[in-house]
Amino acid sequence: MAGDAGDEAVAQKKEVRFEEHQRNWTTTAQEPNANYVHPYSPPRIPDLAISLALLVAGCAVKGFGATLVALYVLAALLFVVNDHDVLLAAVAGNDTKVATLLKVFDPKCGGAVGMFGIVAFRSALVAAAMEGHASMVKLLLEAGADPQQGITVGPAGCLMSETCLCAPADKGHAAVVELLLKAGADPQQGLKAGPRGSLGSMSPLHAAAKNGHAAVVELLLKAGADPQKGAAWGPFGVFGTESPLRAAQKNGHEAAVKALRV
C-alpha cells in the first residue's frame, strides 16, 4: 500500500511538472494541441485571424495595409514559437502523459521556432535524452521516433545541427546512449556548426571523453565510433582540432583515457 501511495505521488508530481511546462512554454490554449501537424508547427488560429484582419485593412488602406501584411507574415515565419505537448511532457519526465499523447501524435514532433521550424527545431526525443529520461527515450523510440533527429538551427540545420547522441554523451547518461545506439543512432555524428560542419564539429565520443564519462566512451567505441574523431574549430579545423584521447588527458579523466587506449 505504501508503495502504491509513493507511485501515485510521483505520478502526481510529474503531472504538475508537465502542466507547469505547458503554461510557461506552449503558445496555444488548445488541448491537446489539435492545430499541430507533424513535425513542425503550422500557423495558429490567432495568427490566421490577425493576418485576415490585416488583409482586410490592406484592401482599405492599399499600400500601407499590404506592408503590414508582409511584415506580419515575415514575423510569423521567423518568431512564432510552438512547443508540442509531447515535447513538454518529455522534458517534464511524464511517461504517462507521453504514452497518452503518442496515441494521437507522431513521435517525431517537437518544438519549433519560426513557422515550419525555419529558425530552429528540437525533437521530443532529444529533449528527453538531454534530461536523462531513459524510460521516456525508450517509449519514444518504440513509438517510432528517429534516433538521429535532434536539434537544428537555421533552415535544414544550415547554421547548427546536433544529433540525439551528443547531449546524453556529454552529460554521461549511459542508459540513454545505449538505447539510442541500439535503435540505430550513428555513433560518429554529433554537433555540427555551419553547413555540413564546415565551421566546427564535435563527435559524441569527444563529448563523453572530455567530461570523463568512461561508460559512455566504452559504449560508443563498441558501437563503432572512430577513436580519432574528436572536435574541430573553424572552417575544416583551421583553428585547431582535438582527439577524444587528448581531451580526456587534458582534463585528467584517467578512466576515459584507459577506455580510449584499449
Q: pLDDT confidence of 31, banded at 50, 70, 90?
A: very low
Residue 118 lies in a domain: no
Q: For 54-83, write each residue's pLDDT tens digit.
A: 555 555 555 665 666 666 666 555 555 565
Angle, helices 85-92 vs 124-131, to 10°: value is: 10
Residue 96 lies in a domain: no
**Cβ–Cβ under 8 Å, residues 175 and 144:** no
What Cα–Cα distance (Å) separates residue 114 from each residue in 83, 98, 106, 221?
11, 24, 20, 37
Range of the domain at 208: 156-262
pLDDT at 217 over 60: yes
**Maximum average pLDDT range among 15-19, 89-93, 133-137:** 133-137
Split into its structural domains, the chain has a count of: 1
What's the half-sphere exposure (Cβ side, CA atoms, 13 Å) at 38? 12
Domain of residue 208, CATH code: 1.25.40.20
Residue 188 lies in a domain: yes
Q: Which helix (H) or strand (E) holds 193?
A: strand 191-193
Higher pLDDT, 204 or 39: 204
Residue 195 lies in a domain: yes
Which pLDDT score, from 0 to 100, does residue 171 have?
95
pLDDT at 186 over 90: yes
Residue 3 lies in a domain: no
Q: Find the mean pLDDT for residues 3-25.
A: 51
**Cβ–Cβ under 8 Å, residues 215 and 171:** no
Residue 255 lies in a domain: yes
User: Could you tell me which residues are beta bridge partners of residue 120?
Assistant: 113, 153
Reading phi first (left if > 0) and then psi (alpha if -120 to 50, else beta), residue 231 is in beta
Which pLDDT score, from 0 to 100, does residue 111 have?
76
pLDDT at 220 over 50: yes
Higher pLDDT, 82 or 202: 202
Which pLDDT score, from 0 to 100, does residue 1 have?
54
Residue 107 lies in a domain: no
Residue 53 lies in a domain: no
Which pLDDT score, from 0 to 100, does residue 60 have?
57
Cis-peptide, bond into residue 32, ω within 30° of zero:
yes
